[in-house]
Every structure is written in structure tokens, then in C-alpha cells.
Homo-oligomer: A and B are copies of this chain.
Amino acid sequence: MSLHRRASAPPPIDQRSAILAQAAGLFASKGFPSASMNDVADAAGLSKATLYHYFTDKGEILKTIADAHVSRLVEVVRDIEALPHAPGDRLELLIAGFMSEYESAQQAHRVLTEDVRFLEPAAREQILSKERRVVQAFADALAEVRPELKKAKVDKALTMLLFGMINWMFTWLDANGRLSYEDMAKMVTGLFFRGVLDMPIAVPARRKRPNRGVSRVAN
């Protein structure tokens, strides 16, 4: 080691990163309110006071984890938007890119989807605006594939159904199981593309219309 440090000093190289990593794991598994600062300190092998050296309060740890993750997602979106792609390819690349990002940040992603509501309004809004940026990119990519969906005003709803498949996956998919994230990305992509490519476009439905029979859309 070339670092000029007293032998007695343990390497403080990345205490901040250790705090964030351990906190992400605890927030993801126990939920933000149930994970105490003592839990985080113990997991990181630090005193609770040290946590408050790096972060002003518990919420700032949460905000840092969520913002870093959603910012990476915005980067994935920017990279794909910056290059020319055929219409279908852009949406396909977005799905594959997100699944890949999620795979390497499962805990941060769970924190983003479940614990952001515990942030104070200003911090929460900052995260949510980046989430909206991401949702818009998916909706735009979908509209490239089938512009009629946007005119019928179902593009956002379909986009959110897509996010549902992807985001919910982290409640059930075994990372060491038979199906890989790559397998699941292909399955989701295939299912969604077949689902929307032949989707019949209806006039935006009025609520409470008389015929309430079971859908004719399905068959």
C-alpha cells in the first residue's frame, strides 16, 4: 500500500459507499421506516454518529440512493435517444437496457419503487420528475411503433402496464433461478410487442356506457 496512513487507522476509503450499500439492502428488505439508523451503522461496521458525518439525516440517505438509481435510468434513456434507431428497436433497447440496469441494482430499484413516498415533498418531487422523464421516453418509443395509440390516449396506460411487468418482477424473480434477466427481457419484449402491434384502437371510451359485457377485445 502506498497510502501514508497510520497503521492503526482502518482504511476510511469508502465509508460513504458502504453506508449507501448497506442502507439500500436494509431499506429494500425491511422497508425504510423499519430500518433504523442503528441497523445501518451496525451493517456498515460504523457508529451511528459516523452516519451523521456523511448524511444530515436518515432521509438524505434514502434520497441519495433513489436519486443515484433514477439518474442512471435517465442516462440509459439519453444514450438510446441520442442515437438513430428503427422505431421498434428503440423500445426494445429501452426494455433491455432497463432490465440490465435493474439486474445490477436490485436493491436500489426496490427502494426507488417502494420507499420514495417516505421522502419529504421537495426531495420526492425531484425523484418523481426524473421518473416522469423516463416514463415519457418509453411512451415516445411506443408511439414510434404505433402512433395511433397516442391519438387514442392509451400510450401512457400501456407504458405503465409495461413498467408493471418489469417492476413487479423484483418481487418474484429468483436471480439464481432458471430464467435470467436476459431471458425475461426477451419474454417481456415479445409479449408487449405482439400485444400492442395488433391492438385494435377504440374511440376513447366514455365511462358507464350501457354495454358492460366482457371484452370483445380479447379474442
Contact = CB atoms under 8 A, between A and B. Distances in A.
Contact of A207 (B113, B180, B184): B180
A164 interface: yes
Contact of A169 (B117, B164, B218): B164
Contact of A187 (B113, B118, B158, B180): B158
Interface stretch (A17-25, A67-75, A197-205): A197-205
Interface residues of A, number: 58
Contacts of A196: 191
A78 interface: no
B164 A168 contact: yes
Contacts of A171: 113
B188 A161 contact: yes
Interface in A178-219: 178-180, 182-200, 204-205, 207, 212, 214-215, 217-219
B193 A199 contact: no
Nearest to A204: B178
A153 interface: yes
B160 A92 contact: no
A133 to B, nearest CB: 16
A205 B207 CA distance: 44
Contacts of A123: none
Greatest chain B CB density within 10 A among A34, A118, A191 is at A191
Interface of A: 31, 33-34, 88, 92-93, 96, 113-114, 117-118, 153-154, 157-158, 160-161, 163-169, 171-173, 178-180, 182-200, 204-205, 207, 212, 214-215, 217-219
28 contacts: A31-B33, A31-B117, A33-B33, A92-B215, A96-B214, A113-B171, A154-B179, A160-B168, A160-B169, A161-B169, A161-B188, A164-B166, A164-B168, A164-B169, A165-B165, A167-B168, A182-B212, A187-B217, A189-B215, A189-B217, A189-B218, A190-B218, A191-B195, A193-B218, A193-B219, A194-B195, A194-B198, A195-B195
